[in-house]
Amino acid sequence: MRIGIFVVAGQFPGQRPGRVLADAVEWIVAAEEAGFDDAWIAEHHFMSYGVCPSPTTLAAVAIGRTARIGLGTAVSVLSTQHPVALAEQAAMLHHLSGGRFTLGVGRGGPWVDLEVFGTGLERYERGFAESLDLLVEALSGESVAADGEFFRFRRVPMVPHARLRPVVACTSEVTVELAAARGLPMLLGLHIGDEDKAALVKRYGSAQRGHVAAGLAYVADSTAEAVRDLKAAMPAWLRPGLAGYVPVDGRPRPVRDADDYVDLLTRIHPVGSAEHCAETLLRTARHTGIEHFVLLVEGLGEHERTLANIRRFGAEVLPLLRG
């Protein structure tokens, strides 16, 4: 089983974005020291839910501060970026890290980002498959060309060049089928439980073993204490944070109740005593076949308590999983 941390870089009330980003690098360093396998970094724009607009940049900083731990993006949003430019960044990080970097990509959403970055709603609604294919080509060979609806250019060399296989965030059957058709592993979100994860793996339909699942993690003396702590801390971050998702075209946006969301997350993920956390992950692995997890450890909203959570999870939970 492979266990990493999932870095959202959430801005809790009273915090400054620059400080949150600096703290996030320290969490990754601490995760390496605690024995975690990797750290995957989220991308968000114009919101307090996550204050890292460039996970590749944060990964580059973390690469310079670490020696062993893997770094990944969860995810880089293809709908607002040029796939070849993203492939170039991934190739740089692959070489600079000594092969420790994994590129995770996703479709994103119909958010105002599409307007700000000029890619438009059409790239989100129709362009994901084309963007993904172009990215895969740019990461597969020494040159790349395009003749599609959204990208059209002559063949150019990929400099630097690296052969990488991206991971694809899958939240619907359509994206699952896109990933499966290309033989790319899935990244499944923290908002779904074991039954839904298992259904998506079944929909994928092959023996691909590289799937990754995100989750929430907090270890305490008891499960009741862990749940109580997160329910006291997380809603103050999630209420203004989730409100930052603004549709580009004024379409209605489903509103998630922060308290209900935290209740769900604490029930389906490793939140509790060390034994409960290990049992939860092992149960998910047995039920879904997924053996790689990236866990959000910053739910308490305080830097020192996040560091303590990382160290305790490494000392008390990881040995139970690996023994």
Q: Find the mean pLDDT for residues 2-26.
A: 98
Rounded alpha-carbon distances, angstroms, from residue 65 to 30, 60, 68, 256: 10, 9, 10, 36
We report the CATH number of the domain holding residue 191 as 3.20.20.30
**What's the whole-number average pLDDT of the chain?**
97
- Residue pLDDT, tens place only, 232-251: 999 999 999 999 999 999 89
What are the residues whose beta carbons fall under 8 Å from the beta carbon of 118, sequence distance 6 or more?
none
Would you state the pLDDT for residue 19? 98
79-88, 118-127, 252-261, 311-320: segment of lowest average pLDDT: 252-261
Would you state the pLDDT for residue 174? 94
Q: Find the mean pLDDT for residues 136-143.
A: 97
Q: Find the mean pLDDT for residues 117-125.
A: 98
Q: Find the mean pLDDT for residues 296-316.
A: 98
Would you state the pLDDT for residue 323? 77
Would you state the pLDDT for residue 2? 97
Q: Are 44 and 51 in contact (CB under 8 A)?
A: yes
Would you state the pLDDT for residue 209? 76
Peptide bond into 75 cis (omega under 30): yes
Would you state the pLDDT for residue 304? 98
Alpha-carbon gap, residue 239 to 237, rounded angstroms: 6
Would you state the pLDDT for residue 120? 97
This prediction has a pTM of 0.97
Alpha-carbon gap, residue 237 to 3, rounded angstroms: 25
- Residue pLDDT, tens place only, 180-232: 999 999 999 999 999 999 999 999 997 767 999 999 999 999 999 999 999 99
Provide the domain count of the chain.
Answer: 1
Helix (H) or strand (E) holding 167: strand 167-169
Query: For residue 125, which amino acid is it?
Result: E
Structure tokens at 290: 């997924």
Query: For residue 43, which amino acid is it?
Result: E
Share of the chain above pLDDT 70, in %: 100
Helix (H) or strand (E) holding 156: strand 152-157
pLDDT(272) > 90: yes
The count of residues in the chain is: 323
Q: Are 102 and 71 in contact (CB under 8 A)?
A: yes
According to the 3-state scheme, what is the secondary structure of 107-135? CCCCECHHHHCCCHHHHHHHCHHHHHHHH
Q: Find the mean pLDDT for residues 149-169.
A: 98
Structure tokens at 37: 């396998």
pLDDT(121) > 80: yes
- The residue segments making up the domain with residue 258 are 2-322
Left (φ > 0), alpha (ψ -120 to 50) or beta: where does 27 sit? alpha
Would you state the pLDDT for residue 254? 85
Q: Are 57 and 15 in contact (CB under 8 A)?
A: no
Would you state the pLDDT for residue 87? 98
Rounded alpha-carbon distances, angstroms, from residue 161 to 29, 85, 92, 138: 28, 12, 8, 8
Beta bridge partners, 143, equal 157
Would you state the pLDDT for residue 38? 98
Would you state the pLDDT for residue 39? 99
- Among candidate residues 106, 108, 76, the one with its CA nearest the CA of residue 89: 76
Would you state the pLDDT for residue 255? 87
